[in-house]
Amino acid sequence: MKFGVVVFPGSNCDHDAFYSVKSVIKQDVEFIWHKEKKIGHLDCIILPGGFSYGDYLRTGSIARFAPVMNSISDYAENGGLLVGICNGFQILTELKLLPGALLMNSTLRFICKHVHIKAENAETPFTNKIREGQILKIPIAHKEGNYFISPEELDKLEKNRCIVFKYCDENGKIIDSANPNGSLDNIAGICNEKRNILGMMPHPERAMEDVLGSSDGKIIFESIVDFIRNR
């Protein structure tokens, strides 16, 4: 079993993701340079957070044209597991591997803090070890994490149970005051209809050990490992 972590110029959570896989869940992992094209040997690929290519035009808009993304698109189309975290989520929407867009936070400010998210679908490769309705404490760190999608597409997400996580309070209530960035319907993470692509704004790789304030992110990575072992 082997993970890959993509490295773009400007990535700043690539080493966090690498450490999470290698040192916490004890799995093989390698870095994937943004110009690489051979990735078919990997069981799961992570697009990490950061500021790919400096986000100089729009978050994720340059990274979508990186040479590696053609290979990643093919990889995902063939059922490979793909996780986009924060900037990685933004890249996935730019590439149209996931629907919607990430807009400027409603506060117009960068936000970095722990939040609570509720698992809305426990039947994905990324949540199979999580109870439906389980609350996780995971940090966010973004300025453009305000998820938006058209009403028609939102209905489709709901109908196909593609909403994986929603922002909630510590008691699991999905309310406006628990929404840190203005995301539509408190959406914090979604998957595609095939369930092999996950995009989420919170950073599970920053919540792998209790010393960091929470180890709740670990169960997401453990779910991926469990799925790969049993498929």
pLDDT in tens, 15-35: 999 999 999 999 999 999 999
13, 86, 162, 168: which is the annotated catalytic residue?
86
If you ran DSSP here, which 8-state letter would residue 212 be given? Answer: G
Q: Residue 116 above 90 pLDDT?
A: yes
Identify the helix (H) or strand (E) that includes residue 230. helix 218-230
Give bridge partners of residue 28 from the DSSP assignment. 2
28, 56 Cβ separation under 8 angstroms = no
What is the dotted CATH code of the domain comprising 2-230? 3.40.50.880
Q: Note if 162 is an active site residue.
A: no
Q: Say what the pLDDT of residue 56 is.
A: 82
Q: Note if 203 is an active site residue.
A: yes
Tokens encoding 212: 């960091």
Q: Say what the pLDDT of residue 66 is.
A: 94
First to last CA, the chain: 12
Whole-number average pLDDT of the chain: 97
Q: Note if 205 is an active site residue.
A: yes
The CA distances from residue 69 to 61, 74, 93, 96, 138, in Å, are 12, 9, 13, 12, 27
The CA distances from residue 52 to 90, 144, 220, in Å, are 10, 13, 23
Tokens encoding 88: 């990685």
Give bridge partners of residue 167 from the DSSP assignment. 117
Q: Say what the pLDDT of residue 49 is.
A: 96
94, 120, 144, 205: which is the annotated catalytic residue?
205
Closest CA relative to residue 220, chosen from 212, 208, 209? 208
Q: Say what the pLDDT of residue 208 is.
A: 98
Pair type for strands 163-168 and 187-191: antiparallel
94, 142, 162, 203: which is the annotated catalytic residue?
203
69-104 tens-digit pLDDT: 999 999 999 999 999 999 999 999 999 999 999 999
- Dist. CA 31–CA 88, nearest whole Å: 15
